[in-house]
Structure 1
Amino acid sequence: MSRAAALDSRKSEQKEAIAAKKAEHAADLAMGLTATMAKVIKSDELICTACGATKLGPLTKCECTGGRTKPGPDYCCKRQLLDAAKARFALSKANEMKEAARKQEIIAGSRSKKREGAAEVDLQAECQGDGVEMQVVVEFPIGKLGMGLEKNCVSKVTGEPAQDLGVQRGWVLHSVCGELTLPDSTAIAKQVMKVFKEKKTGVVDFKFRVPIVEGFLHCVQCDKFLGADGFDGAQVEAGPGKQMCSGCEEIACMGF
């Protein structure tokens, strides 16, 4: 083979390798395996390919009646390790919300002694979509909220009742009393006041979109929760309600 032919062959192999790498990266992103999640699953290990047990859990022991099925040397564990990581985060979030609900029960009991008819505030959660986020329903008593909004994102938690209810900075307000909210804090304030005036007593359901994975941020442009590594440093510092992921920022800079 001539030097020119050998060079062409190497270039062709390099192109194929690059194409394969891009395809693998695209497949990873399609299943939700971002750079952040890749770091999370790196320390985990698949124990059984059948039941999906992993070293870090939540299922840490094989439950198969026929015994453990070990992953072979060429077996791709990404999907099952990713599912396990999402399940761990969901469980962690659920425990946090249970604790917030427990605290709120204590607070509600204290309020009922001081004020007749004070309503107990509850917290509920429901997993949504591809497992990156879930929806949390928080029942706010009519009155002050104890939080600030930027567009429809919680930009700060200033005190009761939001703080006691476990509301966190970065959550996205999805609806109030079943009515969807717009990404406009002024419009939301009017919407909330209208509901409060109509209801007068009791509690009002505020449904929030919440990232399951710690460190995920909400992009105001594509309206998705993405890993922090998908945002420029300045965007991260901008805070909830102002953050735009790198992809959307690039498109915006192009004038689209």
Structure 2
Amino acid sequence: MSASAVQSTTAGLALRLLVLGMAVAGATPALAGDQNQIFLRQESPANPSQGNVLVVDQSAALGASVAGPSQSLLDAVDGAGGSGVAGLPSLLGLPGDAPALQRGVGNDATVIQTGAGANVMLLQQNMADIGVPATGLTGQQARVEAASGAAGAVVQRGDANEARLVLEQQATGLVAQTGTELKADLSVGPGGTGQIIQNGSNIDSGPVVVTTGGSVIYVQNGTNIQPIGATGLNVISSTNIGAIAITQTGY
């Protein structure tokens, strides 16, 4: 088996996969681009108006992986309340038991991994997949940047969701969105952990920044919720052990 592997299962029409940094097996010692893996499934309906797109850059990564979230993580997301997903770092450490999935039309994802052992989980679905009538909007977008030892997941189940997740060394992070026009922007510093969970339609988290070693859970439930403050949420420091949890509920 090669040092780097791409496993891809495709169904439907109009898809594009671009992978950067897949090295040839047998290089000694291991170099950037070695031992990276991508496990992916892309599906599109007949006559899609726009195809699925995934761009993965692992050229500066070693032992990085892109796969789908484990069922344990999905169950935890579905059961998350105002306190978010419990045990997130452990759940992100579980091997993905499914491929990264882009289903529907208009999905778009970019994953950039650097350093050793950066792991990313990705799920993008449309509203029909979760039993909700489609709104006519055509797709999610996601951009994930993961540095050495980082682990993160983006779970988008809806129509026009957008998400940006940036993880520095040894950080963990989750963006989970169910709705239509949701947006999220989460950056987590070294050793920190962060979550944005959005349930609703026109919700915009604004930028959420978690600094070194911090822990933040930000849950938004409602329809037309805006970010906290004009510039979003920036956790500078915390002297107490434990997560900072913020819940917004719209009416």
Give TM-score, length-normalised by structure 2. 0.25
**Structure with greater contact order relative to length (CA < 8 Å, sep ≥ 6):** 1
More strand by share: 2
Give TM-score, length-normalised by structure 1. 0.24
